[in-house]
Structure 1
């Protein structure tokens, strides 16, 4: 009997089942079958991706909340041509169909509806008359209030821009969008493209951005075909996650106040600056253990949760780019 056969024989039934599942997944993930994403045509309505369907469902349960708003801002220093910036924003909307998308019911099923054209205004909030000492705080408060305004997935638009003027040569641009049309990775793309479009417009040059080979609706159609109901590939994916999450226990985290009966989706963020020496030590530890800094910090967070709860098996969710295709 070979070493490999010995190793397989020593596997527990649970590990053998997981190995079989992984091998089936590998056999079903033939990249040659998904190299091409054909462009959808002849209609302006398309199926939702699985990620969009989750967010749509949550919105049906709790309509009118801003928990899934994504807001990103830019500080602009120097002379600003507001009309040119507005033009760049609308060129961006013209370029990306998802920024022109709303979500409606069609035959009792949600679909994404893409508007052929959409003009986004750029309202100006002028704070330059505020006392200089209070201007920054006023701007941040106005930004937070604007970013917290909820979206209507059916009526749209699900993308908006607001310009805040602190002085003639100091501005803040806030872009707010619903998570159903964008994610954290998208915001970086949008900011880079707005800057490129603005520079091209100021210079009087044609757009330098390459044409998009596909739009998000194309991906949604492809994903629905690739993971079609009843397909072995979809069944394999579901089996995998059922196995991974089968024994996940609820985190018994003690709180200083009783939890409310209704989840209000309110949150806050606490920033803490680590000292240079501690940061260097964390980097050194990560390198020694062959881990990333994120993995090291996540481990520390898990240890902290274990100390508070007394639990040893804790599931923590992490935001990921979820980009496994070049398109």
Structure 2
């Protein structure tokens, strides 16, 4: 019998959503990828063995989600030898090779849930790429996986073995499920009252959607704060007894409330929760989709709104084990508004740096991360602000929008308003 564990909140959400939008959430192209260029000697046969080790030691990469009763479970399949795909090519095409690999399909029912390649380039360097299905990983896990591959390669070169992870993703999810079992009714009631009467916020008056057109997404990669500014804002957040996530969202609420007719901000979000110390470097989908609702009073400023948003974010974070799809199921009127109004449910997300950094050791060789031109899975969401702290400390954003609803000029205007608001505490600190 295969080892079986409960599905995580994120996995449950994707699998359940797929019942309504087949292949939209768990199709083979719902993937995330990472690539590095390795400069220095690289033994490809040893690397191949390290890749096999990566799959063998991470149960989540051999896990298939299956229906069991009214929910979903993870079933861990036995390890079978995994091999890298090998090729050669000119160094000037390295970005093309990396981008092409991001489009490699990863079926959710065919372990391993990762595909790897190594390309020997004609300048003596090597491109190493990994692509994962999003059902089994999250953005920080990409860098963690590549770092682990480098450590496994280094160990093999030295004739050593890396100890197995002290905790696997499935048992971790079981711990989480057991820890909240006694409070589910109270937490569902919290969400029922919190979201009652809410409506998705419109970022501009008079927006209309051409419902006859299919979703047509576009993405912008934008700079938010440099490392010094981000560090200063984080210190400001600590002085005000809040978090960087909540501070960024406060700026978003202030900027959006000036445009919203009701000043009632309802957005989707995603929390990364690695609350157990043994999950810090573990590969897996440690994501918890949730909702945030903030009623911004007239005349609100940073001093008055910061504690309000802090409490909203804290309450949502503490109850993110209730799936968003179940919360919306309590409110058919909200679902109707989300599905019929232009833009629908906005998403605001912040994920911290994985802590890996921009360079990874592969034995005596050094790998540096290669920029990924693919924006990753977006789903059918009208406007998404996805913020990420890079290893350098810089804060960047991927802003995705549906061209059926929004023009790029308006999206850039919205983003500029957000950045202006976010930098206001920094200006006050300087004065």
TM-score, length of structure 2 as denominator length: 0.54
Matches within 5 A, 1:174-213: 174-204=129-159, 206-207=160-161, 209-213=162-166
One of 26, 33, 37 as aligned partner of 1:71: 33
Partner of 1:36: none
Deviations along 1:276-301, one digit per CA (max 9) or x if unpaired, are 89768756865765555544443333
Matches within 5 A, 1:110-129: 110-128=72-90
Pairing 1:301–2:252 present: yes
Pairing 1:148–2:103 present: yes
Partner of 1:243: 193
Deviations along 1:102-159, one digit per CA (max 9) or x if unpaired, are 223467864323221122221134231xxx6xx2xx4333323321344322234321
2-structure distance, mates of 1:317, 1:107: 28
TM-score, length of structure 1 as denominator length: 0.69
Shift of 1:192: 2.5
SS at match of 1:120: coil
Deviations along 1:162-184, one digit per CA (max 9) or x if unpaired, are 22343343222221112221223
1-structure distance, mates of 2:232, 2:9: 41
1-structure distance, mates of 2:243, 2:277: 24
One of 240, 246, 258 as aligned partner of 2:209: 258
Q: Quick check: 1:94–1:117 contact (8 Å CA) kept in 2?
A: yes
Partner of 1:80: 42
Distance 1:283 1:179, change over 3 A: closer
Deviations along 1:283-321, one digit per CA (max 9) or x if unpaired, are 686576555554444333333323343442213444432
One of 39, 49, 62 as aligned partner of 2:22: 62
Greater alpha carbon shift after TM alignment, 307-316 vs 86-95 = 307-316
1-structure distance, mates of 2:180, 2:233: 41
2-structure distance, mates of 1:287, 1:274: 17
User: Which is higher, the Rg of structure 1 or of structure 2?
Assistant: 1
Partner of 2:263: 312
Pairing 1:324–2:275 present: yes
2-structure distance, mates of 1:302, 1:66: 35
Shift of 1:88: 0.8
Distance 1:117 1:304, change over 3 A: same
SS at match of 1:200: helix
Distance 1:116 1:262, change over 3 A: farther
Partner of 1:172: 127
2-structure distance, mates of 1:63, 1:242: 29
Partner of 1:162: 117
Partner of 1:218: 171
2-structure distance, mates of 1:112, 1:313: 38
2-structure distance, mates of 1:266, 1:141: 22
2-structure distance, mates of 1:113, 1:198: 28
Q: Quick check: 2:11–2:135 contact (8 Å CA) kept in 1?
A: yes
SS at match of 1:309: coil
Partner of 2:343: none
One of 53, 67, 89 as aligned partner of 1:91: 53
Q: Quick check: 1:67–1:266 contact (8 Å CA) kept in 2?
A: no
Partner of 1:44: 3
Q: Quick check: 1:66–1:148 contact (8 Å CA) kept in 2?
A: no
Q: Quick check: 1:104–1:154 contact (8 Å CA) kept in 2?
A: no
Greater alpha carbon shift after TM alignment, 170-179 vs 107-116 = 107-116
Greater share of strand residues, 1 or 2? 2
Greater alpha carbon shift after TM alignment, 142-151 vs 74-83 = 142-151
1-structure distance, mates of 2:241, 2:71: 47
Number of equivalent positions = 274
Shift of 1:199: 0.7
Greater alpha carbon shift after TM alignment, 173-182 vs 306-315 = 306-315
Distance 1:224 1:292, change over 3 A: closer
1-structure distance, mates of 2:227, 2:75: 50
